[in-house]
Structure formats: C-alpha cells, structure tokens
C-alpha cells in the first residue's frame, strides 16, 4: 500500500501552518520529515494517519493494505503514550482487544511482538518501572502487534538520552532489514534522518513547504559504518535548514 | 610566599558548612499518639482538680462511662446501624449518580453546556437548608435523610469526576483513536481509569460532607442514629453522652478515611 499526499495546506485560524505539500510514500520506504520546530511536521503526520483533517488537499491510500493488517496506519508517539495502569502485556493487548481475535490468537501475537522487541522478561512490569528506552520498545511492540502497513513515527527518539537513542535506532534498522516496513519518520535530528531515511523531506519554517527532497541510496544496514560519507549529506541538509531554523527560533509565539 | 603564609592556609582548613537542612517534614510515628494522650490526660487531670468545671466539660472518663452504658444497654448497635445504613445508601447512590453525570459532562458538549452551570448553581447551597423540602417530598422517615446525603455527595462527585476527565492526558486518548479503539473502549479503558485518582480524592471530600449531613438530618425526627443520640444528649444537658457521640463521629470519619486510603493504595498502585 502506498500513500500519496496531495496539495495539502492547513491553517489554524489566521496562521497558515502548511502550504501545498505533495509527497508520495512508497511501500517499503522510510520517509523522514525534518524541519525547524513549529513548521508543522507533526501536524502533517497527524494528517497522514487521519488523526486530524487538513483544510485543503487530501491523503490518499493507493492499493489496499494487507488482509492481515489490523490497523494499517499505526503511530509511535514521542511521549510513548502507554497507559500507566496497565502492564507491558496489557498495553500491547489494548491495541488488540477491539478486534475479533480469540484469546489464544491474542496471546500468540503478544508473545511474538514482545520477543521481537526483547521485552519477554518484562511482560508483567508497569510502565513506571521501565526506563524511557524500554517504554518506547513497548510502544513499538504495541505498534507491531496490529501488523501495520505504514508506521507513523512522531519523534520517537526525542524523549530519550543519546545512548538509548543510538540503541533504539539500531533496533529500528534491524527490524526494517527483517520486515521492510513502510514508515514516515518525523524528527528534528539530522543524524537520525540520514541514518534512517531513504528519502528525506526538508520542510521550511511556517508555513511549512517542501523545500527539498534528498534521497540516499546507501542501504540502511551499511550506514552505521559509513557515517563519514553521510556527513556530507547531513551538512548539505543543515545548510538548507540553518537559516530556516534561525528564523524560526527568533519568531514570537502566539502570533 | 613566606612560611607563615603557608601555615595560615593549612590551619584555615575546615569542612564546608551544611546548609541544606529543613523544609522536609517527615512523619514521626510516636508524636501523634503522644499529643492525643497528652491532651486527654490534661483534660482528665483538670476535671479531677476542679479547674475544668464538670458543667462546662465532663471528664473523658465520664464520657467513656456514657459510651459503655450505650454498649451495655445494646443501644450502640441500634444507633450505629441506623446511621451507617443511611450513610452507605446515601453516599453510594450519590457517588454512583455523580460519576455518571460527571462523565456525561466530561465527555459531551451538550451535557457540559447544559448541566455544568446547573451544578455550579446548586453545589454551594447548604443541603441542610433543603431538608424541610426533602421532608415534604420524601417523607419524614428514611427517605428525606438519605436524599439529603445523596444530594450532598452528588455534587462534589460530579465536579471531581469531570475535573478528572478534563485532566486525562489527551495524548492517551489520541493514542486510543490511532489504534482504532471504539468510543466505548476509550471511555472504559482510558478515560475512566485516568480520572480515577481525581474521583477517589473527591470521595474523601464527599464522605466528610456525608457525615455532616447525616448528623444534621438525624437531628430532625429520627428515633435512632448518632445524630439523634447527640441531639437528645444536648437537650438533656447530658454533656458526657454528647462527648461520647461526637467521639464516635470522629472515629467513624477516621475509619472511612482509612478505608479510602486503602482503596487508593489498591487502585492507584500503578502510580
């Protein structure tokens, strides 16, 4: 299943947030969306998953999601969004409970996703007992449990410290190598973008427009050891973003 | 640098003074019982010495004797069961209805616009003032007493519930929507558990209100009940019985607060 964003623009009251966004997300591809803070990248991601509606334009699904997909467009949030009163397995099962699955099928899915995210030993733990990285693993397990066609990740690593970020990024890359999922990945971190994106979309500051789309051909698995080469791309991206970021930083809020 | 200079720097060595003490009250287990025992001992001593007149305040031992009379005559259970029954029925009904209406106000725009001004308008009315009306509506028996407690607990519960719902993390609700959960599932599995801490702290307040209203309602036309007992003691100037009755109310309040504390520990162990 591919996604296509067509002429999306949006405004909150007087303020124009996004303007004329056209973008295709192909199956098996990871699209990173970067931009200065307040450029509407998270808003854009909410449009893609149908959590919010743009004033103009639309997001189109091309083709249908795989039959076994329970929730084709699935989010991973920056703040993890785990229910603090449910255990790890309870949080995963929350996503499954509204679907017609037998208890045995549900159990099988939970065991499977917890194994894939190395969480099997933490089944009965409450979120308050887990570190930030573990919490985000639970959120990833929950997202995988509904067999998404497209993963929508909203700064999933931004609330974590840099070591954990590195570990989790490796996990996401490993997972992609095995399953070739499709993803939209919003971040403000350039090095995450060059490590993880097949296609990097640079948005300008408000109103967010697509300023540049950079494609990186290097396979995801090789990037970790070839950071020198990626450095160039990263610098190039930073050059494109620098002035925007500077201007965005100096903008008054609440205009 | 001369030799004396060096010596003075060495002799000037001293530990950095600790300045971070205080402002952290911690519970000391023995203090509270000591204060209680101290006050009661002083009171007893004063009554025996005569500088607290028995007309003004009876000795604690007399109040205790009055309480033992109540136990021995078998009236204690009659008073207590009558009061507890009213309290439990009134408070439970008020809380259940309050949670239901609070949830409606918390979730639906029409209910919020229509009901929340009404709640704000009726909440501050002392329900005791409405007691004569309740007697006309529900009769002079149990009905009016339970209704007073019900109304008294209903409003704080409504306010606590919708306040709690307003404070549920929007991110969690959005997460529920993003996984395609049904509206009912979101309410049952995300919103209500999220509002539970606020509902429980509302319960603490509503229980205290319920005890106040219980006594007030029992002072009008009740044969049994702690309020009736206190009223009778007062009109007979039997201050020892009055103190015994008031002490029972205090203990009742403490026991209920302890039970709610237990419930909070159990239901909110995820915090």
Per the listing, tokens 């919010």 go with A52
CA neighbor of B102 nearest in space, from B190, B163, B168 = B163
Cross-chain CB nearest to A84 (options B175, B189, B270): B270
Q: What is the per-residue pLDDT for B176?
A: 95
* Each residue's pLDDT tens digit, B162-210: 999 999 999 999 999 999 999 999 999 999 999 999 999 999 999 999 9
Question: How many whole angstroms separate alpha carbon B182 and alpha carbon B137?
Answer: 42
Cross-chain CB nearest to B178 (options A70, A74, A85): A74
With contacts defined as CB-CB under 8 Å, which chain B residues touch A142? 179
For residue B182, give the chain A residue with the closest CA.
Answer: A98
Q: Residue B4 above 70 pLDDT?
A: no
Question: How many whole angstroms separate alpha carbon A130 and alpha carbon A5?
Answer: 37
* Each residue's pLDDT tens digit, A203-240: 888 788 888 898 888 888 888 887 788 888 888 888 88
DSSP state of B130: G
Q: Residue B5 above 70 pLDDT?
A: no
B175/A81 touch (CB, cutoff 8 Å), yes or no: yes
Q: What is the per-residue pLDDT for B107?
A: 93
Q: What is the per-residue pLDDT for A60?
A: 92
Q: From residue B192, give the alpha-carbon distance in Å to each of A21, A82, B163, B186.
A: 39, 15, 12, 9
Query: Domains of chain B by range and CATH?
Result: 61-267 (1.10.3720.10)
Mean pLDDT, chain A, as a whole number?
89
CATH topology of domain A2-65+149-250: Rossmann fold (3.40.50)
* Each residue's pLDDT tens digit, B217-269: 998 878 899 999 999 998 998 899 999 999 999 999 899 989 999 999 999 98
Q: Does the structure's ipTM exceed the value 0.90?
A: no
Bridge partners, residue A75, by sequence: A152
With contacts defined as CB-CB under 8 Å, which chain A residues touch B190? 83
Q: Residue A146 above 60 pLDDT?
A: yes
Question: Is the distance from CB of A180 to CB of A221 less than 8 angstroms?
Answer: no
Q: Token pair of A75, please?
A: 């989010």
Q: What is the per-residue pLDDT for B9?
A: 58
Interface test with A, best of B168, B178, B187, B264 (most A CBs within 10 A): B178
* Each residue's pLDDT tens digit, A82-97: 999 999 999 999 999 9
Tally of CA atoms within 13 A in the half-sphere of A9 that contains its CB: 10
B179/A83 touch (CB, cutoff 8 Å), yes or no: no
A238 vs B: CB within 8 A: no
Q: Token pair of A243, please?
A: 């002035």
* Each residue's pLDDT tens digit, A4-22: 999 989 988 888 888 889 9
- Average of per-residue pLDDT across A106-122: 92
Percent of all residues in chain A with a pLDDT value above 90, rounded to a whole number: 47
For residue B192, give the chain A residue with the closest CA.
Answer: A85
Q: Token pair of A170, please?
A: 């490796």
Q: Residue B8 above 70 pLDDT?
A: no
A125 vs B: CB within 8 A: no
CA distance A87 to chain B (A): 9
Give CA angle at A249 (A246, A255), nearest 5°: 130
Question: How many whole angstroms separate alpha carbon B251 and alpha carbon B245?
Answer: 10
- Average of per-residue pLDDT across A50-65: 91
Boundaries of every domain in chain A: 2-65+149-250, 82-148
Per the listing, tokens 């697509």 go with A210
**CA-based Rg of chain B, rounded to a whole angstrom?**
27
Q: Residue A38 above 80 pLDDT?
A: no
B171/A79 touch (CB, cutoff 8 Å), yes or no: yes
Measured in whole angstroms, how far is the alpha carbon of residue B39 from the centre of its chain? 24
* C-alpha torsion sign, points A244, A247, A251, A255: negative
Q: What is the per-residue pLDDT for B38?
A: 95
For residue B184, give the chain A residue with the closest CA.
Answer: A98
Cross-chain CB nearest to B177 (options A51, A128, A142): A51
CA distance B47 to chain A (A): 54
- Average of per-residue pLDDT across B81-106: 95
For residue A69, give the chain B residue with the closest CA.
Answer: B179
Segment (H or E) for A30: strand A30-34
* Each residue's pLDDT tens digit, A150-172: 999 999 998 888 888 888 998 89
Q: Residue A37 above 90 pLDDT?
A: no
Q: Residue A48 above 80 pLDDT?
A: yes
For residue A139, give the chain B residue with the closest CA.
Answer: B175
Percent of all residues in chain A with a pLDDT value above 70, rounded to a whole number: 99
């Amino acid at each position: 299943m591919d996604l296509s964003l067509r002429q999306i623009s949006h405004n909150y009251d007087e303020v124009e947030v996004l303007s004329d966004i056209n973008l295709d997300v192909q199956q098996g591809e990871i699209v990173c969306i970067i931009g200065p803070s307040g450029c509407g990248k998270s808003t854009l991601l909410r449009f893609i998953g149908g959590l919010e509606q743009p004033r103009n334009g639309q997001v189109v699904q091309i083709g249908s999601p795989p039959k076994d997909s329970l929730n084709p467009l699935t989010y991973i949030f920056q703040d993890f969004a785990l229910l603090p009163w449910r255990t790890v397995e309870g949080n995963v099962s929350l996503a499954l409970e509204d679907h017609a699955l037998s208890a045995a099928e549900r159990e099988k899915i939970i065991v499977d996703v917890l194994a894939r995210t190395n969480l099997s030993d933490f089944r009965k733990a409450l979120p308050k007992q887990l570190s930030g990285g573990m919490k985000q693993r639970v959120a990833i397990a929950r997202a995988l449990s509904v067999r998404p066609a497209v993963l929508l990740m909203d700064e999933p690593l931004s609330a974590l410290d840099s070591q954990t970020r590195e570990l989790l990024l490796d996990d996401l890359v490993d997972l992609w190598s095995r399953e070739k999922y499709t993803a939209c990945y919003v971040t403000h971190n350039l090095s995450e973008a060059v490590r993880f994106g097949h296609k990097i979309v640079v948005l300008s500051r408000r109103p967010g427009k697509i300023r540049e789309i950079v494609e990186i051909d290097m396979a995801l698995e090789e990037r970790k050891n070839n950071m020198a080469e990626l450095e160039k791309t990263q610098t190039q991206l930073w050059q494109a973003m620098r002035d925007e970021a500077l201007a965005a930083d100096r903008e008054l809020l609440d205009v | 640098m001369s030799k004396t200079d060096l010596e003075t720097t060495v002799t000037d060595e001293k530990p950095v003074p600790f300045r971070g003490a205080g402002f952290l009250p911690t519970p000391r287990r023995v203090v509270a019982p000591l204060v209680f025992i101290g006050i009661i001992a002083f009171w007893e001593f004063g009554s025996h010495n005569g500088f607290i007149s028995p007309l003004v305040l009876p000795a604690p031992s007399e109040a205790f004797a009055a309480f033992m009379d109540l136990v021995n005559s078998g009236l204690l259970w009659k008073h207590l069961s009558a009061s507890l029954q009213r309290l439990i029925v009134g408070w439970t009904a008020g809380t259940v209805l309050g949670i239901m209406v609070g949830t409606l106000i918390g979730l639906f725009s029409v209910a919020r616009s229509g009901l929340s001004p009404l709640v704000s308008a009726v909440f501050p009315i002392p329900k005791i003032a409405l007691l004569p009306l309740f007697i006309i509506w529900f009769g002079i028996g149990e009905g009016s007493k339970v209704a007073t407690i019900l109304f008294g607990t209903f409003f704080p519960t409504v306010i606590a519930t919708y306040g709690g719902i307003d404070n549920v993390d929007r991110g969690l609700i959005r997460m529920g929507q993003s996984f395609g959960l049904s509206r009912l599932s979101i309410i049952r599995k995300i919103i209500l558990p999220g509002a539970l801490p606020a509902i429980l702290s509302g319960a603490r307040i509503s229980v205290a209100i319920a005890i106040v209203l219980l006594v007030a309602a029992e002072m009008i036309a009740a044969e049994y009940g702690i309020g009736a007992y206190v009223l009778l003691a007062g009109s007979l100037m039997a201050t020892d019985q009055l103190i015994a009755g008031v002490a029972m109310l205090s203990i009742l309040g403490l026991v209920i607060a302890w039970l709610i504390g237990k419930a909070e520990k159990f239901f909110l162990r995820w915090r």
